[in-house]
Structure 1
Amino acid sequence: MWETVSTFIDKYDLLPANSTVVVGVSGGADSMGLLHYLDSIKEAKDLKLVVAHVDHMFRGAESEEDMKFVKQQSEKRSLLFEAEQINVSAYQKEKKLTVQVAARECRYAFYEKVMKKHHADFLALGHHADDQVETILMRLGRGSSMTGYAGILPKRAFGDGVIIRPFLTVTKSEILEYLTVHGVPFRHDPSNDKDAYRRNRLRHHILPVLKEEFPGLHKRFQAFSEQIQESEQYIGALVEKEWIAVIKSKANDRVILDIKPLLLMAKPLQRRGIQLILNYLYNNEIPPSLSSIHIDNLLSLLESEHPSGRLHFPNGLQVFKSYDECTLTFDKDEYDKAYKHKLEVPGNVALATDFKITSEIRTLEKPQDVKENQAVIDLSKVALPLYVRTRFDGDRMKLKGTNGSKKIKSIFIEGKIPLQQREIWPLIVDANHEILWIPMLKRSAFEATEETMGPVLVLTCKTSQKVWEATKK
Structure 2
Amino acid sequence: MQKVVLETIKKYDLFDQRERVIVAVSGGADSMALLHFLKHYATNYQLSLVVAHVNHKKRKNADLDELLVQKIATNYQLPYEVYYLPPGGTTENFHEYARKERYNFFRSVAKKYGADCLVTAHHADDQLETQIQRLLYFESPNGLIGIKAKRVSQHLKVVRPLIRVTKKQIYGYCEREGVKFREDESNQSDVYTRNRIRKYIVPELVKESPSVYEHLNVIGEQLNDDEIYFSQQVDELMENTYRQGNDVWLSRRFIQQLPPSLSRRLIKRILQQFVIKDIQHIHIEKVLELIRNPKPNLTLFLPHQIRCIVAYDKVSFSKDMTSSEEYEFTLSLNDSVVLPNGDILKVSENKVDEKPEKFCINEVHLCYNEIELPLKVRTRQPGDRIQLMNGSGSKKIKEIMIEGKVPRLLRDTWPIVVDSNDKILWVPLLKKSAFCCHKSNGKTMTIVYKHRGGNEEDA
Query: Which residue of the partner structure matches residue 257 of structure 2?
Result: 264
Alpha-carbon distance in 2 for matches of 1:14, 1:202: 29
Alignment of structure 1 residues 297-316 onto 2, 5 Å = 297-306=286-295, 307-313=297-303, 316=304
Query: Which residue of the partner structure matches residue 243 of structure 1?
Result: 237
Query: Which residue of the partner structure matches residue 349 of structure 1?
Result: 336
Q: Percent identity?
A: 32
Query: Which residue of the partner structure matches residue 23 of structure 2?
Result: 23
Alpha-carbon distance in 2 for matches of 1:37, 1:278: 43
* Contact 2:131–2:146 (Cα < 8 Å) also in 1: yes
The change in CA–CA distance for 1:302 and 1:135 in structure 2 (over 3 A counts) is farther
Shift of 1:340: 5.3
Match of 1:190 among 159, 173, 185: 185
Alpha-carbon distance in 1 for matches of 2:65, 2:112: 23
Alignment of structure 1 residues 443-458 onto 2, 5 Å = none
The change in CA–CA distance for 1:29 and 1:244 in structure 2 (over 3 A counts) is same
Shift of 1:221: 0.6
Alpha-carbon distance in 2 for matches of 1:123, 1:345: 62
Letter in 1 for 2:149: P
* Contact 2:33–2:170 (Cα < 8 Å) also in 1: yes
Match of 2:212 among 196, 217, 229: 217
The change in CA–CA distance for 1:274 and 1:32 in structure 2 (over 3 A counts) is farther
The answer to whether residue 58 in structure 2 is matched with residue 66 in structure 1 is no
Shift of 1:210: 1.2
User: Secondary structure at the residue paired with 1:39?
Assistant: helix
Letter in 1 for 2:257: L
Shift of 1:270: 2.6
Alpha-carbon distance in 2 for matches of 1:58, 1:412: 62
* Contact 1:157–1:163 (Cα < 8 Å) also in 2: yes
Query: Which residue of the partner structure matches residue 455 of structure 1?
Result: none
Alpha-carbon distance in 1 for matches of 2:74, 2:247: 47
Letter in 1 for 2:256: L
* Contact 1:349–1:356 (Cα < 8 Å) also in 2: yes
User: Secondary structure at the residue paired with 2:37?
Assistant: helix
Shift of 1:11: 0.6
The change in CA–CA distance for 1:343 and 1:250 in structure 2 (over 3 A counts) is closer
Alignment of structure 1 residues 145-294 onto 2, 5 Å = 145-240=140-235, 242-243=236-237, 245-249=239-243, 256-275=249-268, 286-287=276-277, 289-294=278-283
Alpha-carbon distance in 1 for matches of 2:384, 2:417: 13
What are structure 1's unaligned runs of at least 5 residues? 361-367, 449-457
Query: Which residue of the partner structure matches residue 37 of structure 1?
Result: 37
* Contact 1:23–1:123 (Cα < 8 Å) also in 2: yes
Query: Which residue of the partner structure matches residue 104 of structure 1?
Result: 99
Alignment of structure 1 residues 452-467 onto 2, 5 Å = 461-464=447-450
Alpha-carbon distance in 1 for matches of 2:36, 2:324: 57
* Contact 1:298–1:311 (Cα < 8 Å) also in 2: no
Alpha-carbon distance in 2 for matches of 1:430, 1:66: 79
User: Secondary structure at the residue paired with 1:58?
Assistant: coil
The change in CA–CA distance for 1:338 and 1:6 in structure 2 (over 3 A counts) is farther
Query: Which residue of the partner structure matches residue 415 of structure 1?
Result: 404
The answer to whether residue 309 in structure 2 is matched with residue 321 in structure 1 is yes
Alpha-carbon distance in 2 for matches of 1:159, 1:250: 29
* Contact 1:248–1:257 (Cα < 8 Å) also in 2: yes
Query: Which residue of the partner structure matches residue 426 of structure 1?
Result: 415
The change in CA–CA distance for 1:69 and 1:469 in structure 2 (over 3 A counts) is same
Query: Which residue of the partner structure matches residue 438 of structure 2?
Result: none
* Contact 1:387–1:429 (Cα < 8 Å) also in 2: yes
Alpha-carbon distance in 1 for matches of 2:411, 2:456: 13
The change in CA–CA distance for 1:188 and 1:243 in structure 2 (over 3 A counts) is same
Shift of 1:98: 2.1
Letter in 1 for 2:292: E
Alpha-carbon distance in 1 for matches of 2:201, 2:421: 69
Letter in 2 for 1:247: T
* Contact 1:56–1:85 (Cα < 8 Å) also in 2: yes
Query: What's the RMSD between the two structures over aligned residues?
Result: 4.5
The change in CA–CA distance for 1:278 and 1:348 in structure 2 (over 3 A counts) is closer
What are structure 2's unaligned runs of at least 5 residues? 350-356, 388-393, 436-443
Alpha-carbon distance in 2 for matches of 1:173, 1:270: 43
User: Secondary structure at the residue paired with 1:169?
Assistant: coil
Q: How many residues align?
A: 434
The change in CA–CA distance for 1:281 and 1:82 in structure 2 (over 3 A counts) is farther
The change in CA–CA distance for 1:238 and 1:173 in structure 2 (over 3 A counts) is same
Shift of 1:196: 2.0
Letter in 1 for 2:12: Y
Shift of 1:258: 4.2
Query: Which residue of the partner structure matches residue 82 of structure 2?
Result: 83
Which has the higher mean CA deviation after the structures are superposed, 209-218 or 81-90? 81-90
User: Secondary structure at the residue paired with 1:177?
Assistant: helix
**Deviations 1:239-276 (Å, cap 9, x if unpaired)?**
44x4154233499x975544433332222223344455
Shift of 1:464: 3.8
Alpha-carbon distance in 2 for matches of 1:297, 1:5: 45
* Contact 2:271–2:279 (Cα < 8 Å) also in 1: no
* Contact 2:52–2:81 (Cα < 8 Å) also in 1: yes
User: Secondary structure at the residue paired with 2:118?
Assistant: strand
User: Secondary structure at the residue paired with 2:88?
Assistant: helix
**Deviations 1:58-102 (Å, cap 9, x if unpaired)?**
33x543443333223322222222222233524x59xxx722222
Alpha-carbon distance in 1 for matches of 2:183, 2:422: 70
The change in CA–CA distance for 1:327 and 1:41 in structure 2 (over 3 A counts) is farther
* Contact 2:249–2:315 (Cα < 8 Å) also in 1: yes
**Deviations 1:159-184 (Å, cap 9, x if unpaired)?**
21311111111111211221222222
User: Secondary structure at the residue paired with 2:97?
Assistant: helix
Alpha-carbon distance in 2 for matches of 1:153, 1:278: 25
Alpha-carbon distance in 1 for matches of 2:143, 2:262: 16
Shift of 1:218: 0.6
Alpha-carbon distance in 2 for matches of 1:117, 1:467: 47
Shift of 1:399: 2.8
Alpha-carbon distance in 2 for matches of 1:18, 1:347: 68
Shift of 1:5: 1.6
User: Secondary structure at the residue paired with 2:15?
Assistant: coil
Alpha-carbon distance in 2 for matches of 1:339, 1:119: 58
User: Secondary structure at the residue paired with 2:41?
Assistant: helix
User: Secondary structure at the residue paired with 1:89?
Assistant: coil
Letter in 2 for 1:270: S
Alpha-carbon distance in 2 for matches of 1:68, 1:208: 32
User: Secondary structure at the residue paired with 1:54?
Assistant: strand
